[in-house]
């Protein structure tokens, strides 16, 4: 049996940040337990390797949600990272904070200190903005003022983006949408996306925060170590039971156990440990230490759709789909770490209003200069894009209101929980789909877009009926991989799992710090807000420890 000051469960986006920040002062011993392996893999490092890690069971939980009634009974694939870096090691690299209103709504829900004015400086403190041409910091800090803290590199890759970028400006201005050549970091605006890369390689949370901290003697990291239960005595978390490479091990925490296992596994682990909906726990004969109906509830996710277009000029399909193109871009990547293999598939997009009269930013758009269809085995082989020059435009609603859930399906920690997105269960979410499709219809109808097309769009989104738009959406929409909210933050235990300091209500020495604490989903991609949450949590934890006599 070993004892540490802090035990962190899960080395994902949030866990890696905490491992760094809690060991930076040298005062605390920290144990970081990760169910997956080390992240030293070619396809993780190379951004376009996303198409391969997407289904690689050795580093991915490869979950499927329950059949979704509103989506024709489809059971959707829900990938999640199971490796150092967690989902930030397998994600599509887009970096976007969302919009100020997202965090202001967190504060309005009673979470003091989480409004955008409060968290903006936390974002600024974690971001290191680079451009690939010279790897010089564009702002934030220059080389003479090196940041003392470890930071996440986010890259403005505009120069490397596909040449179709020259047409995008015209297309979006003809659609009365704001477009700039500098990537949007927050709020309204379209452009190239910021991506989490450093010198052409993926910059996951492990790359940015964990690896540089590994040499610290008071940080111990165990991989292939799956926590099966939190040890609780009375109302205090004391330690964890964990299985590492087949062996059962017990670790004790002097200060705190910090749950960073992500929006699926954090609620699952609380439920397995006796904190969750009483009725559910009774079903599996788990002693109820605390009847907490909110554990695993309020799941929110973005649900998106892609529309496919045949282009009258070469797109990335021509590069990635041919041997000569792959050889050329492979060589470019190996020699200079630039070119299409150094980028996300999601090259352009951002947040907009579905129509000018809309008072709130409600739509996230994607414009990808490549098109490929996930096959029956859920593979997204980027080496097998569609056999024609093609591109994709797609959207998802920023702030869906439907909610889903995560419930254990067994007392065996090795069995995946039941999980569902509860998608499209509100009228607002259905109305959003129609409004966003009409926006895409207006973009399709611009002269600029027509000038890129070899043939008319497969679907005429301007003339389709609302019912047809929704029917098509229900048949084809997929998760955008942003589940969150399953251990949400709020001032009262009857509506939330953790308080504004991310401590589990009614418990001592137990926090949850990951995407599951979001009180509401943010408008864009969820890695940036998760990293922000973890930075802020680290400040709180260190302050709390310092205050102790
Ligand atoms: C395919 C995909 C594409 C995405 N694309 C984007 C994108 O482009 N931009 C963006 O911003 N976001 C994207 N996301 C979402 C984003 O990456 C996540 O929201 C974010 O990484 C969540 O961080 P987290 O710390 O909550 O969880 P995770 O990063 O998932 O970390 C949880 C960690 O805990 C470990 N763990 C779980 N259970 C246990 C256990 N019992 N014991 C020990 N360890 C455990 C897991 O293995 C994992 O390493 C994407 C996600 C996926 C899956």
**Which residue's CA is the nearest one to ligand 1's atom 49?**
86
Token pair listed for 515: 């995407």
Tell me the best of 527, 528, 531, 538 to mutate to test the pocket of ligand 1, counting ligand atoms within 8 Å of each CB and taking the most.
Answer: 527
Rounded to two decimals, the pTM is 0.96
Domain boundaries, the chain: 2-547
Of 4-18, 334-348, 478-492, the poorest mean pLDDT is in: 334-348
How many C-beta atoms lie closer than 10 Å to residue 86's C-beta?
Answer: 35
Position 148 confidence tier, pLDDT thresholds 50, 70, 90: low
Interval between CA 262 and ligand 1 midpoint (Å): 6
Longest dimension (CA), the chain: 72
* pLDDT score at 144: 43
DSSP 80-141: -B-STTGGGGTS--EE----HHHHHHHHHTT-TT-SHHHHHHHHHHHEEEE-TTT--B-SS-
Determine the atom of ligand 1 nearest the C-alpha atom of 85: 49
Task: Name the residue with the closest Cα to ligand 1, atom 46.
Answer: 82
Q: How many angstroms separate the alpha carbon of residue 81 from the centre of ligand 1? A: 5
Give percent above pLDDT 70 in the chain: 95
Ligand 1 geometric centre to CA of 53 (Å): 13
Residue 150's pLDDT band, with cuts at 50, 70 and 90, is: confident
Higher pLDDT, 142 or 437: 437
Structure tokens at 380: 């997204």
Is residue 482 part of the annotated active site? The answer reads yes
Cβ atoms < 10 Å from Cβ of 473: 21
Q: Whose CA is nearest to atom 1 of ligand 1?
A: 91
**Among the listed residues 437, 441, 345, the one whose alpha carbon sits nearest the alpha carbon of residue 392:** 345
Question: What is the position in ligand 1's atom list of the atom closest to the CA of 15?
Answer: 25
Is 112 within 8 Å of 500 (Cβ atoms)?
A: yes
Closest atom of ligand 1 to 93 CA is 8
Contact 320, 339 (CB under 8 A): no
Atom of ligand 1 nearest to the CA of 33: 43
pLDDT tier at 284, thresholds 50, 70, 90: very high
Q: What is the pLDDT of residue 133?
A: 57
**271 C-beta neighbours (distance < 10 Å), count:** 23
Distance 85 CA to ligand 1 centre (A): 8
| CA of 30 relative to ligand 1 center, distance in Å | 21
pLDDT tens digit sequence for 350-380: 999 999 999 999 999 999 999 987 665 666 6
Q: Report the alpha-carbon distance of residue 124 to residue 210 in Å, rounded.
A: 19
Most confident of the following: 142-151, 227-236, 364-373: 227-236
Which of 9, 12, 48, 258 most suits a substitution to test ligand 1, by most atoms within 8 Å of the C-beta? 12
Instruction: Give pLDDT, residue 378.
Output: 61
pLDDT at site 384 = 79
Please tell me which residue in 302, 337, 482, 535 is annotated as part of the active site.
482
Q: Which residues line ligand 1 (CB under 6 A)?
A: 9-15, 33-36, 54, 79-82, 86-88, 90-94, 226-227, 260-263, 265, 269, 481-482, 514-515, 525-528, 530
- Residue in 50, 88, 273, 537 to alter for ligand 1 test, most ligand atoms within 8 A of Cβ: 88
What is the number of H-type helices and E-type strands within the chain? 15, 25
Report H helices in 356-501.
427-444, 447-450, 466-476
Cα 126 from chain centroid?
A: 16
| Mean per-residue pLDDT, 428-453 | 97
Top mean-pLDDT range of 128-142, 155-169, 209-223? 209-223
Distance between Cα 340 and ligand 1 center (Å): 24
**Contact yes or no for 151/428 (Cβ under 8 A):** no
pLDDT at residue 164 tops 50: yes
Ligand 1, closest atom to CA 83? 49
How many C-beta neighbours within 10 Å does residue 112 have? 12
- State how far the Cα of 414 lies from the Cα of 469, in Å rounded to an integer: 40
In the predicted structure, residue 140 carries a pLDDT above the cut 70: no
Is the pLDDT reported for residue 141 higher than 60?
no
pLDDT tens digits for range 49-58:
998 999 999 9
pLDDT at 146 exceeding the cut of 70: no
For ligand 1, atom 41, which residue shows the shortest CA distance?
227
The answer to whether the CB of 97 falls within 8 A of the CB of 119 is no
Residue 25, exposed/middle/buried by CB under 10 A (0-12, 13-18, 19+)? exposed
Looking at residue 169, its pLDDT comes to: 87
Residues 290/506, Cβ–Cβ less than 8 Å: yes
User: The domain at 2-547 falls in which architecture?
Assistant: 3-Layer(bba) Sandwich (3.50)
Q: What is the mean pLDDT of residues 240-268?
A: 97
Helix axes 527-547, 13-23, angle to 10 degrees: 30
- Residue identifier of the C-alpha nearest atom 52 of ligand 1: 91
Nearest residue (by CA) to ligand 1, atom 4, is: 91
Ligand 1 centroid – CA 283 distance (Å): 29
Binned at pLDDT 50, 70 and 90, residue 132 comes out as: low
User: In whole numbers, what is the pLDDT of the chain averaged over residues?
Assistant: 94
Q: 292-320: per-residue pLDDT in tens?
A: 999 999 999 999 999 999 999 999 999 99
Q: How far is the CA of 89 from the centre of ligand 1 (A)?
A: 8
What ligand 1 atom has the least distance to the C-alpha of 263? Answer: 26
């Amino acid at each position: 049996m070993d004892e540490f000051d802090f035990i962190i469960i899960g080395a994902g986006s949030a866990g890696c940040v905490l491992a760094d920040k809690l060991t930076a002062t040298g005062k605390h011993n920290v144990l970081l337990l990760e169910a997956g392996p080390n992240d030293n893999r070619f396809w993780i490092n190379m951004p376009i390797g996303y198409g391969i890690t997407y289904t690689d069971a050795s580093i991915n939980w490869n979950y499927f949600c329950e059949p979704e009634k509103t989506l024709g009974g489809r059971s959707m694939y829900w990938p999640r990272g199971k490796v150092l870096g967690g989902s930030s090691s397998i994600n599509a690299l887009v970096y976007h904070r969302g919009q100020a209103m997202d965090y202001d709504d967190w504060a309005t829900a009673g979470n003091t200190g989480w409004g955008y004015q409060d968290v903006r400086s936390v974002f600024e403190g974690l971001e290191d903005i680079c451009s690939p041409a010279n790897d010089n910091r564009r702002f934030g800090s220059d080389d003479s003022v090196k940041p003392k803290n470890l930071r996440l590199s986010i890259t403005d890759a505009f120069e490397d983006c596909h040449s179709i970028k020259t047409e995008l400006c015209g297309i979006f201005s003809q659609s009365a949408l704001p477009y700039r050549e500098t990537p949007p970091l927050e709020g309204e605006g379209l452009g190239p996306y910021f991506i989490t890369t450093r010198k052409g390689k993926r910059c996951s949370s492990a790359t940015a925060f964990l690896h540089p901290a590994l040499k610290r003697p008071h940080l111990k990291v165990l991989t292939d170590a799956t926590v099966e239960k939190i040890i609780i005595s009375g109302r205090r978390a004391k330690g964890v039971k964990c299985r590492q490479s087949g062996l059962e091990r017990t670790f004790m925490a002097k200060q705190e156990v910090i749950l960073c296992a992500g929006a699926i596994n954090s609620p699952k682990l609380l439920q397995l440990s006796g904190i969750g909906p009483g009725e559910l726990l009774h079903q599996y004969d788990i002693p109820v230490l605390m009847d907490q109906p909110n554990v695993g509830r309020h799941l929110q996710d973005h649900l998106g759709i892609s529309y496919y277009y045949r282009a009258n000029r070469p797109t990335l399909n021509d590069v990635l789909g041919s041997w000569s193109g792959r050889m050329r871009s492979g060589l470019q990547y190996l020699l200079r770490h630039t070119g299409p293999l150094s980028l996300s598939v999601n090259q352009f997009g951002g947040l907009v209003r579905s129509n000018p009269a809309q008072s709130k930013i409600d739509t996230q758009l994607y414009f990808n200069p490549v098109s490929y269809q996930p096959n029956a085995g859920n593979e997204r082989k980027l080496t097998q894009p569609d056999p024609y020059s093609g591109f994709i435009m797609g959207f998802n609603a920023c702030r869906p209101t439907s909610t889903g859930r995560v419930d254990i399906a067994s007392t065996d920690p090795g069995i995946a929980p039941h999980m569902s997105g509860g998608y499209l269960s509100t009228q607002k979410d259905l109305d959003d789909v129609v409004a966003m499709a009409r926006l895409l219809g207006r973009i399709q109808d611009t002269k600029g877009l027509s000038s890129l097309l070899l043939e008319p769009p497969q679907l005429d989104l301007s003339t389709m009926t609302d019912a047809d738009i929704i029917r098509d959406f229900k048949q084809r929409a997929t998760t955008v991989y942003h589940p969150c909210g399953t251990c949400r933050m709020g001032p009262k235990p009857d509506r939330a799992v953790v308080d504004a300091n991310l401590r589990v209500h009614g418990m001592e020495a137990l926090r949850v710090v990951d995407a599951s604490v979001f009180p509401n989903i943010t408008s864009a991609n969820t890695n940036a807000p998760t990293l922000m949450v973890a930075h802020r949590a680290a400040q709180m934890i260190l302050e709390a420890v310092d205050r102790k006599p």
